[in-house]
Amino acid sequence: MGSIAAFCAGVFLLYWPYLWCWYKKEDPEIYGLRWSADRRAVAETLAVTAVVLAVLTAVAFAWPWEELPRRRGLRSVMELAASGLAAAVIEETFFRGWLQPVFAKKLGHFAAIVAVNLIFAPVHLVAAPYWISLCTFFPGLVMGWLKYRHDSLLPPALFHFLGNVWAIWFFPSPVGF
pLDDT at 26 over 80: yes
Residue range(s) defining the domain that contains residue 131 = 3-170
Vertex 137, ends 136 and 138: CA angle to 5°?
Answer: 90
76-118 pLDDT tens trace: 999 999 999 999 999 999 999 999 999 999 999 999 999 999 9
Of 57, 43, 53, nearest to 146 (Cα)?
Answer: 43
21 falls within a domain: yes
92 falls within a domain: yes
Distances (CA, A) of 148 to 31, 33, 113: 10, 12, 9
48 falls within a domain: yes
144-168 pLDDT tens trace: 999 999 999 999 999 999 999 999 9
pLDDT at 177 over 60: no
The verdict on pTM exceeding 0.85 is yes
When divided into structural domains, the chain yields a total of 1
Separation between Cα atoms, residue 143 and residue 49, nearest integer Å: 10
109 falls within a domain: yes
